[in-house]
Structure 1
Amino acid sequence: MNYRTILVNLDTDRPIKPITNAAVDLASQVGARLIGLCAAQAFLSPFSMQATSYAVTSAMQQMYKDLEDRMEQVYQEFRAVVAGRVELEWRAEMIAPTEAIVEAARAADLIIMAAAEGAHSGDSYRTADPATVMLRAGRPVLIAGSGKNAIPVEKIVVCWKDTREARRAVVDAVPLISFAKDVIVVSVSSKPDASLRRSNADVVSYLTRHNVKARSHISKSADETIGLLQSVDQSGADLIVSGAYGHSRLRELVFGGVTRFLLDEGGRNRFMSS
């Protein structure tokens, strides 16, 4: 599989140059076209809705006008940054950004989003939630670290735990992993055993068959999250690949410790599948 189309989400209230540069850089590496998406929804507080119908209508009209103006500004900035480097498409939607991304994901192989300040923070009318996008979009999500202007893929850490989500993430990430010069398949356990070593070896073998230079690293730690963090920090990886899984059927509300940390960690580039 190759990435033919990449969808990048552009927030109305944040600078778009870093995430656009990162998306263009990646799209040019893999030979993909780029869809730029900007979405936001007009919203009046319950207090504002208590005004006269004329005042409410006027306020809503002004909000729509302000959003249209801002989206046009984002579009012009987006075009200027892309500047013919990759084929592009533009989409502007007057709906909640999370819903817009989930809907548009059917047209793309990969979604790129800027890091959020916490997995569920922000205004849902103007800010997309990466966790919900991952659960609903049916596409892998690459969350670029805060302020990153590029997404290098020379050194990649695969956070391996033998789950459906991690297996999915490895397959989804192959087009990126194939560019890497060094791929480390990392597992963490308080009691590493032969089964774990076989599991890691199978992933390394799978990647080798895709012409990827991969190696296994098994870390012994009583705390999975801490052990994984230490391994990632020591590796100096450009990108972290992992499954997004939880310990509850209510995954919209409860993610596992590693997944929660990766969602909340703003400084790293993370590729996640669910």
Structure 2
Amino acid sequence: TSLNGEFDGLVAGAVKTDWHGDIENPNHAVARRARMADIVVTSAFQGASTGDSYRTVDPGSLVLRAGRPVLVAAQGAMDLPARRIVVSWKDTREARRAVADAVPLMAMAEEVTIVAVDRNPDDWTRDSVKDVASFLAGHGIKARTEIIKTADDEGNRLVDFFASMNAELIVSGAYGHSRLREWVFGGVTRSLLDEVWLNRLMSN
């Protein structure tokens, strides 16, 4: 009841809300409620694994279960500045879904950049990045493109790029699979989940 009151105080009638309380695994509860939502917003205090899946939502597990885009807010974020958005692009179903999910946010941004990291960029990579820019242009969104060639760790290289761009929101697909009741994430997905200073919109 005290949490319900705190929630009502924070919202203060600014938007229409409903309160749902459940005593169960938070990931399961939020994923089930996601069927009523356009987007799920959560925070991440310890990156990909919160350490206590019975008291705190695990964002990695949530994004793979929810069937909705998940906005993982930066640690301590009080609002969502989204003037500079970077799309972490890989030509996969998950990334295509994330780009489509993020169109309303990108339409309000001042600057959108599509970045792909590839050890050996080829015409396929360049064409896929151009196609994403064309898709966004069809929605009135002007985006610049960047292809980074690197032999280093993709996740680290991307995080460095986000910092250099002063990115305020990262859009990315989320890649993972379940193994022994734990989620095993792809390298870039884990890097993004672990960077708690970033706002991330992730889709699966």
Give TM-score scaled by structure 1 length. Answer: 0.70
On the 8 A contact 2:84/2:111 being kept in 1, the answer is yes
Choose from 169, 176, 185 the match for 2:114.
185
Give the corresponding residue for 2:45.
Answer: 116
Give the corresponding residue for 1:197.
Answer: 126
Q: Counterpart of 1:244 in structure 2: which amino acid?
A: A
Matched, 1:88 2:13: no
Choose from 254, 257, 270 the match for 2:187.
257
Choose from 197, 220, 228 the match for 2:158.
228
Choose from 133, 136, 151 the match for 2:65.
136
Matched, 1:156 2:81: no
SS of residue paired to 1:210: coil
CA distance in 1, matches of 2:91, 2:108: 24
CA distance in 1, matches of 2:29, 2:6: 20
SS of residue paired to 2:184: coil
CA distance in 2, matches of 1:76, 1:115: 23
SS of residue paired to 2:10: helix
Choose from 91, 99, 118 the match for 1:170.
99
Shift of 1:194: 1.8
Change (3 A) 1:252 1:170: farther
CA distance in 2, matches of 1:202, 1:114: 32
Tell me, which stretches of 5 or more residues in structure 2 are unaligned? none
Give the corresponding residue for 1:45.
Answer: none
CA distance in 1, matches of 2:160, 2:116: 12
Give the corresponding residue for 1:98.
Answer: 27
CA distance in 2, matches of 1:120, 1:258: 15
On the 8 A contact 2:175/2:185 being kept in 1, the answer is yes
| CA-to-aligned-CA distance 1:247-273 (integer Å, 9 cap, x gap) | x67595321111001111111101101
Greater C-alpha radius of gyration: 1
Matched, 1:214 2:146: no
Give the corresponding residue for 2:170.
Answer: 240
| CA-to-aligned-CA distance 1:9-41 (integer Å, 9 cap, x gap) | xxxxxxxxxxxxxxxxxxxxxxxxxxxxxxxxx
Shift of 1:244: 0.5
What does residue range 33-44 of structure 1 map to in structure 2 within 5 Å?
none
On the 8 A contact 1:242/1:273 being kept in 2, the answer is yes
Shift of 1:121: 2.5
CA distance in 1, matches of 2:28, 2:125: 38
User: Which structure shows the higher helix fraction?
Assistant: 1
Shift of 1:227: 2.1
Q: Counterpart of 1:160 in structure 2: which amino acid?
A: W
C-alpha RMSD over aligned residues: 1.6
Tell me, which stretches of 5 or more residues in structure 1 are unaligned? 1-71
Give the corresponding residue for 1:126.
Answer: 55
